[in-house]
Amino acid sequence: MLPNIDYNDLPRALQRLMVQPSTGDADEAAALPRRSFLKMAGAGGLVLGAFPHLAMAQADGAKPAAGGLKPTQQPSAFVQIAPNGEVMVTINRLEFGQGVQTGLPMILAEELDADWSLVRSRSGTNDAAYADPLFGIHLTGGSNTIKNSFTQYRELGARARAMLMSAAAARWKVDVATLRTQAGTVIGPGGRKLSYGELAEAAMALPVPEKVVLKDPKDFRIIGRATTRLDARAKSSGRQDFGIDVKQPGQLTAVVAHPPVFGARLSSVDDSAARAVKGVKAVVRIPLDRGAEGVAVVADGYWPAKLGRDALKLEWNTSAVEKVDSDKQLVQYRELAGRPGNRKFDADMAPLANAPRKLEAEFVFPYLAHAPMEPLNCTVKLSDGRAELWVGTQSADLDGQAAARTLKLKPEQVKVNVQMAGGGFGRRFVGSSDFVVEACEIAKATRAAGLDAPVRLLWSREDDMKGGYYRPMHLHRASIGFDERGKILAWDHVIVGQSITAGTVFAGMMVKDGIDATAVEGMRDPYPVPMRLTVHHPQVNVPVLWWRSVGSTHTAFVMETLIDEIARSTKQDPVAYRMQLFGDKHPRHRAALQLAVDKSGYGKRKLADGRAWGVAVHESFESVVAYVVEASVKDGQPVLHRVTSGVHCNLAVNPRSVEAQVQGAAVMGLSTCLQGSAITLKDGVVQQGNFGDFTVARITQVPEFDIHIVPSADAPKGMGEPGLPPLAPAFANAIAQLTGKPLRQLPFNLA
């Protein structure tokens, strides 16, 4: 997902870089007057406003709606109350497993005083209302959903509640101050009651209050309670639709033959056999991401499209592109690590030469595929001067604008319907909008060929694993000097790895002094060590992208295993050593770690023979997660038995979702430790293609979990990603306790 950095300057900068102004008159561009906005109603309810599909409404200088409220603050865009009292809440994010389609409605329903049993949720579009209220663009990433929209959704609920109360006061001709609400009902003097469903139509005609008073957290009755997810029943019963399930009338399905080497172009195409496959409707040559070319086969279903692709006879020209070899790349990275580079930290290294103790270490981290359960897909329907897309996207705004450019349309002529997605881990937010643009190119070429039908692009698992974007390969090298008590005197550190953000719209904010902030997040802090940090960003012909927890996927492993190694070498308890380093400056780290220690029985409970404790704690995306694990080695392979977690994410809106996210992230972190969990290249070709040769943890490898949350009433922070980084180092530290040998690479190699 997105990097864990300071975004203070992000909204305006992103808007300047990403928004493509319309070149003509936008007949829907003007902001709607407040009353007109509220009167956009369906069958008698407080209903979703029909916002124009205008990315430019989010640009610098965009005027808020009448009354000073922006589209993101208008309850009619987010709340629909039916006559029977059902409350439909529209979410401004992609739901792809993290639970926001329950968390955001919980926040709004709390201030609305809704009856939770009547609350439902749905996804939004690329309308201006559904932009991130802080960033000003449509964005799901960086564990920002609950954090950035917490106040927004509280205020939306409070505004809708105030309007309902005003409507009741007018009907009863009483002072609104004499009214109260409870579970979807307005209660008046003498015990009179009106349901929200009875009041919704009148309420929608009232002005939207700009100022509202929010509840004291001590009065929360929904927020903070473990709540079953609204989508749980549909998903567990197989009735949930995802982007891959979109079915439009007359829809065709397309698959694409991608080049074997990134950026390669076609030398020749023989599609005669493909066109002869029953069900194939068209074969079109299209431009692809990164300057490459491909061939799309369009058919009346996935299977004939795949058979048609298999029948293609293609020759590729790879002479102009680099053919990466993983073994050679590691040699090059090692050579580069010895050269002078850009500096992030520059502490004095003089004490290193005469330090009583020294530690030299090299770490290697491979490329990683995102490998979501639902492969990439996008459905495009073209009509004269319009396009409609159905896609599980982390940025409906970015992808809508990319679609508009591809289709030679104005941004307001493209509607993006955000679909439920089966995972993503950052892969559904790409600066190039690669698979969305690909779908639009196919739809455009198909229509030009005389086929006027919606087209659904489907990537197979192999397509994505061999031709997608990856977590970068990294090499770390550390030289540390410390004394007999474990006091670190000097820490000289080098990181070599591709920049994720260089050359993207984020470069201006994230690349400083030649260093990509995503590569170094998680280094040094919270430990007050004198560090010199040198960074190299080689250019490699492998596309890279954020991957769940971004830079912390490797920096947490390095920091937490080295801190543990220093503790062991100076015969100190790893927990006590960390607590000493925290001092009094990191109370959240201390609280999370202490909670995990207390709940696990660390240091008090005797482990079974052959098992050892492992500890790690790490902050990412402003949340702290600590793990105390139990592990062993069986038949030469590491085994993780139990994970106890202490989590400090401030207020947990839905503790059940926090628990699920920590479990899911930890299992994903476990997968990075297992043999086979690496993407490797030979002669420019990715060697892995599916779960048969790219390892993810199986159910028999998943440990027992015991997850605990530090109580807090402070505004919530993100939890989609922070559970991943400390798992691998905690596991590695346990194995090092057993074998006496530190683990210096992922996946683990005990040979």
Q: How far apart are CA 184 and CA 175, in angstroms?
A: 20
Enter the DSSP assignment of 44: S
Assigned token pair, 320: 């102009």
* Cβ contact 461:449 at 8 Å: no
Spatial contact of 430 and 402, defined as CB atoms under 8 Å apart: no
Tokens standing for 98?
Answer: 């993290």
Cβ-based neighbour number of residue 462 at 10 Å? 14
Kindly state the helix (H) or strand (E) to which residue 146 belongs, with its residue range. Answer: helix 145-172
- 3-state DSSP call for residue 10? helix
Burial class (CB in 10 A: 0-12, 13-18, 19+), 23: exposed
3-state secondary structure of 470: strand
The residues facing 301 across adjacent strands are none
How far is residue 130's CA from residue 124's CA, in Å, rounded to a whole number? 7
d(CA 584, CA 169): 53
Separation CA 627–CA 614 (nearest Å): 8
Number of helical (H) and strand (E) elements in the chain, helices listed first: 20, 30
Whether a cis peptide bond, with omega within 30° of 0, leads into 287 is no
In this prediction, residue 376 carries a pLDDT of 97
- My answer on whether omega of the bond before 259 falls inside 30° of 0, hence cis, is no
Task: Please name which of 696, 710, 341 lies closest in space to residue 536, comparing C-alpha atoms.
Answer: 341
Buried b (16+ CB within 10 A) or exposed e, 158-175: bbbbbbbbbbbbeebeee
List residues bridging with 704 in a β-sheet: 642
How many angstroms separate the Cα of 549 from the Cα of each of 37, 483, 621, 657, 664?
39, 33, 8, 17, 13
Cα separation, 244 vs 642, in Å, equals: 35
Closest of 78, 130, 13 to residue 504, by C-alpha: 13
CA distance 93 to 718: 14
The DSSP letter of residue 206 is: S
Cα–Cα dist 192/162, whole Å: 18
- Strands, DSSP E only, in 548-636? 611-620, 623-634
Residue 470 backbone zone (phi > 0: left; psi -120 to 50: alpha; other: beta): beta
Helix (H, G, I), strand (E, B) or coil at 369: strand
How many Cα neighbours within 13 Å face the side chain of 215? 24
CB 411 within 8 A of CB 54: yes
Q: How far apart are CA 176 and CA 161, in angstroms?
A: 12
| Euclidean distance between the first and the last CA atom of the chain, given in angstroms as a whole number | 33
Give the whole-angstrom CA distance, residue 414 versus residue 317.
35
The tokens describing 43, both together, are: 């069958």
Block means of pLDDT (10 residues each) for the chain, 751 residues, are 49 40 32 31 37 32 59 97 98 97 98 98 98 95 96 98 98 97 97 97 96 96 98 95 97 98 98 98 96 97 98 97 98 98 98 98 98 97 97 97 98 98 96 97 97 97 94 98 98 98 88 97 96 98 98 98 98 98 96 98 96 98 98 96 98 98 98 98 98 96 98 97 98 98 96 81
638 neighbors 207 (Cβ within 8 angstroms): no
Q: How far is CA 190 from CA 165, 198, 542, in A?
A: 16, 19, 71
How far apart CA 628 and CA 548 sit, in angstroms, is 21
Beta strand segments in 164-278, E: 180-182, 185-187, 193-195, 252-257, 265-270
* Tokens matching residue 704: 């027992």
